[in-house]
Each structure stands twice: as C-alpha cells, then as structure tokens.
Chain A
C-alpha cells in the first residue's frame, strides 16, 4: 500500500517536472495572455543570457516591448544559446532547416558564416535605409570606422550591422593607483585633471602610459612583496593558461605588428615585432616579477576584483561585470596599450564589432530587417547603454546627453571611445582553429620561458616557437581558403 502511494507520488512529481520543463515562456505567455496573436513571429538568437546576468533579461524585455510597440504585427521570440555552443547549435538548426531569422554573430564566426552562404547580403536593404531618418539609418557613415570592419566581405558585400563595439584594454585599479600617487609623482601623472587643475582620481588620461618601459616601471612600483618576498599585490597579471595568448594580439598591435593579413591568407605574428611582444610579456612575469604565479583556477578578473593586482587586460565591456561582481565598486580606469619599441608611438589595441545578421533562409526578411534597424538604431544603442552599461558603435551615440551622463556617473567609461578608435582590426579568419594551433605555443613560451632562453626548452627560442605556430596557422588559412573556394564552386557563397 505504502509502496503504491509512494510510486503514485513519484509519478505525479515527475509529471509536474516534465510538464514545467516542457512549457516554454512563450507557451506559458500564450496560455495566460489574452493578447491577440501577431501574424509574424521573428525568431532571434543571442548568447547574452539572463541566467548569467539578469540585466540581459531586462535588456531583451525592453527591446521586445519597444519594438513590438512600434511593430504591432511582429512577435519577437528570443532563444538564448550559450556562446560556446553557438556554432554547433546553429549548425544543427541549419541542417534541421530551422535556423533563426536574426542572430547576434560574433566576429569569430561572421566571416565564415557569410562565406558558407548562410547570411543574407544586406546591401539592397541598406540602400533603402539611406532614406530613413538619421537616427534610424544603419549605413556605414553612421558608425565608428572601427565598428564597420568585420561586417563585410572584400567585395563590399555587407552581411551584418554592428550592434556593439568592443576593444581589449588595460584596466587599472584606481584605489591602488591613488594610494601610490600620494608619494609617487610618476603615478600621479597617470590621472586626468579637473578643469580647475586638481587631480581627478576617478579618471586616467588616455595616453597615461607612454611606452613599454614606462609600463614596466609602473608595474614594478605597484608590486608589493611581503617579508619573504612573496607578492602581496601585483602590478599586472598574466594568465598563461589560455588567457595569456589572448593578450598577445594587442601587445603585438601596440608594437606595430599584425597577426594576419586582411584577406586571411597569411599569418604575420612571427615577425620581429611579434618576438619582441612575446618577450616583453614573458619578461614581465619572469624577470620583472610583477605578476602573481600562474594559476589555472584563478582568473585575472578574480585577482583584480579582490584588489590583489593593480592592472589587467580585459575588454571595454567589462566595467558592468566588475561593478556587479564587486557590489558596485567602480573605482577603476581603462587605457589602451602603450606603444612598444617598434610601434608607431601611438596607443593601440584590437577592436571589433559584433553584429546582427539575417540568415539566408529567413522567410520574413522585412520583419527581420525592421528588427535589425531598430536594435542598431540610436534608440537601440541607448537602450543597451541604459540597461547594460555598454557604449555603442554609432557616431551619434557619443553626442547624446545620455552618454555624457553615463560618463559622469561611471567615470571608467571616459576613455572607452578613444580606446575603441585606437584599435586595429581583430583577427577574423578561423579564430578557433587558429587558437588551437597558436595558443598552446604561446602558453609554452610563457610557462617555460627561462628554459627556452637557456636553450633547454621544447623550442630553440621565441623566434622558432612563433615560426612553428605561424606555419601551422598558415596551414589553417590554406585549408580554409581551399574550403571557401569549394563553397564558391558549389554556389554557396555570394
């Protein structure tokens, strides 16, 4: 008897769980709402997950509300797909003939998607858009030049409209800097000034760090050791396991080098500039001793948030995450990367603009395009700024009162536009495959630099290691371009 009651209870519980799991939000809304059905359903994919950050939920709700207000015939349905599984899921959706109408594409994949013929060219739609009011126009001249780089092919075919602009940057803990500035004139000189001449301890000058020697000196000054010589507070942080490879690109750019050519046919990082950049990174850790020990399980961001490092490499987007993780702490500042000995003398970084794209198989292009225009319009940019704290890729965004207010409230945003403009184009050809070839080599160089310098490592030197990585990356490019040629032969690409 007891057993049968328990079995029935278990069955009921299981049914409830399965039923709840099977009811999507859209279905629940449909069941509960009295709203009239809209004739057009627009499926939109994104990786900004409300489960990772509730602000994304607020953002999508606001976009959906305002867009549907302006377009009563369209019902927007969002599907959140994790970044790491995006390509696999999209692949499955394409093969299963159920792709989204619109999706946010990272620059990691956009070029590849276009070359496979998956994305709808937008040139005809952009031509019509020229006649729209300025704040609704999404043509090239409306965007910062560094945002309009990854969204078109060499032949001028546009396949995406930038919805954000991101750049890698150096982030500085201003609590640490301000304290050091009390006794050190060189560190004091990093800060901007108020109009009345007082030091503004909430803002850094964009060109605060002059060059690599200056950076090394600063990080040495900001490194504090205990009596036993252990680092209590580090000047800078490098995570050799994966993350270190990521910062190679901006340091390389700052030293006048390039990772790859524009056409994606050749890698260029095994150049004298690349060797210099790699040596500089390794020296910061091994010779200057300004970094905490390499630890896989502890991220740069965690160390920074705990106030254990004075500076780290992150993205221009990361301010809101830092604030969220530290319950509101915003006393940090951002700069681009100082020029290296072979650099142009200007601050540099890598910039990119992730974009909204329309799939080739989208059945309602008009609705999709209306959505893209709205999200990439000035209004869309302002909603992202308001809900997510992001700066925008549009030129007119920076003229708005809202942006000025955002800078006043969160001074860490003050250099963001200049940083984005200072960036070279982020490498864009088969990034994951390239990472698979090059990153382990950079990891080895960082982890075993002293051995390699002494001629006992797995490579004869930095030059040889980078040459091996470059040769393998060129293999990736060769195979990829052969593949693109085959797609073109089959009429896949446009």
Chain B
C-alpha cells in the first residue's frame, strides 16, 4: 500500500492530463484525417487531403501565417531576452523595494490578455497608428507580447541569478574583470540553463499567439498579422466543416514547434555548469 500511495497522489492530475490533453490531442489527430464538422461529426475519410491542402493549395494561408508567426517569434524571443534579463539584473541590484519592483513588473503577466489587448489597441491608435500599417502591425503585436511577458521572465531570470554562487564574481573581480566582463564571462554562461528555459518557453508561447491578434487586428491589415493560431481558429470555429483541416494545421504547427524546440535543446543542451 505504501508503494501505491505516491501513485494515488498523482492519479487525479494524471487522469486530468490524460483526458484533457492527450485524449483531446488524439481526437484532433484523428480529426485531421477526416472532413470533420463539429455539428455533424465526422463525414468522410480524407487521408492526407487536409495536410496536402494546407501545404500546397493556392488558397492556403499556412505558409503566410507560418512566416508571420516566425517573425513574431523572433521579435518576441529577442525582445523578451533583452528586456527581462536587464530588468532582473537591475532588480537584483536593488537593495530596497526589490519585492515591490518584482510585483510591479509581474503585474502584466497576471492581467488577462484580452484586457491588455484592448488597452494596447487604443494606445497603438494614439501612438502613430501602428496597427494601421502592414509593416508595423506585427511588430506592434510583438511589443505587447514582450511587455506582457517581460515581468514573468524577469522573475525566472532573477531566480537563476540568485542561484549563481557569489564566489564566481569574487574570483572574477580579483582577476580584474569589469562589470561587462563579469556579465559576459560569468553571468551569461552560468545563466545558460535559465536562458534556454526562457527562450524555449517564449518560443512555444509565441508560436501560439492568438488573443492579441483576435482582439486587435483579426489578421489584418492585408493579412500581415495572420498568425497560425488565428488561421486555425477561423477554420475550426468560423467555417463550416473545416475542423479536420484546422486540426491538420494544428498538427503542422505542433511539428514546427517540435522541430524548433528539439534543435534548440540539442544546441544548448542543458548541463550542470558548475561542475565543469
């Protein structure tokens, strides 16, 4: 009984995960091979038709939305790294009110995305009509993504920074390293695992960007902000009988994200740096 106890503890979470994640994913994989309609149920076996259409049809927006998503991901990852890390460094140095700063920067992360999107929708209208132009709309959405994600990632970086043993900095100081050299040769290498974690999570999150697009631009202007999650949504819920096609798009997105993350994990393989 004693041996079974841990399994009993994790059983509820396990069941929930299986039913609401893996079973749902299984159904969507199955649906991707059918002309599936949410109202009428599966109609006819489609084989690879849905995938073929997504990849090769003239009126498919898969590649366009993938390109837009990739730009968004690139801007978001860079943006999050260059804002969250400096914020964490500054916060770490703050001798007073550190908890207050941490809370303030974290606030956007707990604010509902719809609220943020509505606020920024009007702000971007005031600030040079960024959403009105096909060249600036996607960067504007990325700015919102970075702003709302920076605080959360700052907290992760802060945890990573506090884990770096103090004596590395002391040794570097004795060797005459200045602040920049300490950052370059101590902080960055020892923060490697956190950097990998933050960038992987940001990539995954950014690939799934939806709320801001849905609220602020609906994919426009001129399809410049049509990202893949939005395309999936439109096909799944707004167009009759396209649930199978939308499922195929979702699995293609999964494949792309998987490849990205896999490569990243291989390149920046996690390891225990301090033992080296």
Asked if A483 and B129 sit within 8 Å, CB to CB, the answer is no
Known contacts A117-B40, A297-B121, A436-B234: does B58 contact A483 (CB below 8 Å)? Answer: no
Contact of A436 among B37, B217, B238 (CB under 8 A): B238
Q: Mark B219-239, 1 if CB is under 8 A from A, else 0.
A: 111110010000000100111
In angstroms, Cα B241 to Cα A296, docked, is 31
- A side interface size, CB within 8 A: 43
Asked if B239 and A472 sit within 8 Å, CB to CB, the answer is no
Known contacts A296-B125, A440-B219, A440-B223: does B237 contact A91 (CB below 8 Å)? Answer: yes
Contact of A432 among B39, B125, B129, B238 (CB under 8 A): B238
Asked if A433 and B131 sit within 8 Å, CB to CB, the answer is no
Asked if B218 and A242 sit within 8 Å, CB to CB, the answer is yes
A94, CB-defined interface residue at 8 Å? yes
In the complex, what's the smallest C-beta–C-beta distance from A451 to chain B, in angstroms?
12
Asked if A487 and B59 sit within 8 Å, CB to CB, the answer is no
B240, CB-defined interface residue at 8 Å? yes
Asked if B132 and A483 sit within 8 Å, CB to CB, the answer is no
Chain A residues in 8 Å Cβ range of B40: 116-117, 487, 490, 492
Asked if A295 and B35 sit within 8 Å, CB to CB, the answer is no
In chain A, positions 124-159 with a C-beta closer than 8 Å to chain B are none
A88, CB-defined interface residue at 8 Å? yes
Chain A residues in 8 Å Cβ range of B221: 240-241, 296, 443-444, 447
B38, CB-defined interface residue at 8 Å? yes
A437, CB-defined interface residue at 8 Å? yes
In the complex, what's the smallest C-beta–C-beta distance from A434 to chain B, in angstroms?
9
Asked if B39 and A295 sit within 8 Å, CB to CB, the answer is no
Chain A residues in 8 Å Cβ range of B134: 447
Asked if B35 and A483 sit within 8 Å, CB to CB, the answer is yes
In the complex, what's the smallest C-beta–C-beta distance from B231 to chain A, in angstroms?
9
Asked if A490 and B43 sit within 8 Å, CB to CB, the answer is yes
A225, CB-defined interface residue at 8 Å? no
Known contacts A443-B221, A444-B222, A487-B43: does B240 contact A297 (CB below 8 Å)? Answer: no
In the complex, what's the smallest C-beta–C-beta distance from A303 to chain B, in angstroms?
14
B185, CB-defined interface residue at 8 Å? no
In chain A, positions 51-71 with a C-beta closer than 8 Å to chain B are none
Contact of A87 among B35, B222, B237 (CB under 8 A): B237
In angstroms, Cα B43 to Cα A489, docked, is 9
Chain A residues in 8 Å Cβ range of B219: 440
Chain B residues in 8 Å Cβ range of A472: 58-59
Known contacts A443-B220, A443-B221: does B43 contact A88 (CB below 8 Å)? Answer: no
Known contacts A296-B125, A297-B121, A443-B221: does B239 contact A430 (CB below 8 Å)? Answer: yes
Asked if A297 and B59 sit within 8 Å, CB to CB, the answer is no
In chain B, positions 120-155 with a C-beta closer than 8 Å to chain A are 121-122, 124-125, 129, 131-132, 134
B4, CB-defined interface residue at 8 Å? no
In chain B, positions 70-112 with a C-beta closer than 8 Å to chain A are none
In angstroms, Cα B39 to Cα A112, docked, is 10
In angstroms, Cα B240 to Cα A94, docked, is 14
In chain B, positions 38-56 with a C-beta closer than 8 Å to chain A are 38-40, 43-44
In chain B, positions 207-266 with a C-beta closer than 8 Å to chain A are 217-223, 226, 234, 237-242
Chain B residues in 8 Å Cβ range of A240: 221
Asked if B241 and A480 sit within 8 Å, CB to CB, the answer is yes
In angstroms, Cα B242 to Cα A475, docked, is 13
Asked if A436 and B129 sit within 8 Å, CB to CB, the answer is no
Contact of B122 among A297, A443, A471, A490 (CB under 8 A): A297
Contact of A483 among B37, B131, B234 (CB under 8 A): B37
Asked if A437 and B43 sit within 8 Å, CB to CB, the answer is no
A456, CB-defined interface residue at 8 Å? no
Contact of B241 among A94, A242, A437, A479 (CB under 8 A): A479
Known contacts A295-B132, A483-B241, A486-B44: does B59 contact A440 (CB below 8 Å)? Answer: no
In the complex, what's the smallest C-beta–C-beta distance from A193 to chain B, in angstroms?
44
Q: Mark A408-449, 1 if CB is under 8 A from B, else 0.
A: 000000000000000000000010110011001001100110
Closest 8 A/B residue pairs (Cβ): A297-B125, A483-B241, A433-B239, A486-B43, A472-B59, A432-B238, A91-B38, A475-B59
Residues of A with Cβ closer than 8 Å to B? 87-88, 90-91, 94-95, 112-113, 116-118, 240-242, 294-298, 430, 432-433, 436-437, 440, 443-444, 447-448, 458, 471-472, 475-476, 479-480, 482-483, 486-487, 489-490, 492
Q: Could you name 27 residue pairs across A and B whose Cβ atoms are closer than 8 Å?
A: A87-B238, A91-B38, A113-B39, A116-B37, A116-B240, A118-B39, A241-B221, A296-B131, A296-B132, A296-B217, A296-B221, A298-B125, A430-B239, A432-B234, A433-B240, A443-B220, A447-B134, A447-B222, A471-B59, A480-B240, A482-B35, A483-B35, A483-B37, A486-B43, A486-B44, A490-B40, A492-B40
Taking A87-B238, A296-B129, A296-B131 as known contacts, 17 extra A-B pairs with beta carbons closer than 8 A to each other, sorted by chain A number, are A90-B39, A91-B39, A112-B240, A117-B40, A241-B220, A295-B125, A296-B221, A432-B234, A432-B238, A447-B221, A458-B222, A475-B57, A475-B58, A476-B239, A480-B240, A483-B43, A483-B241
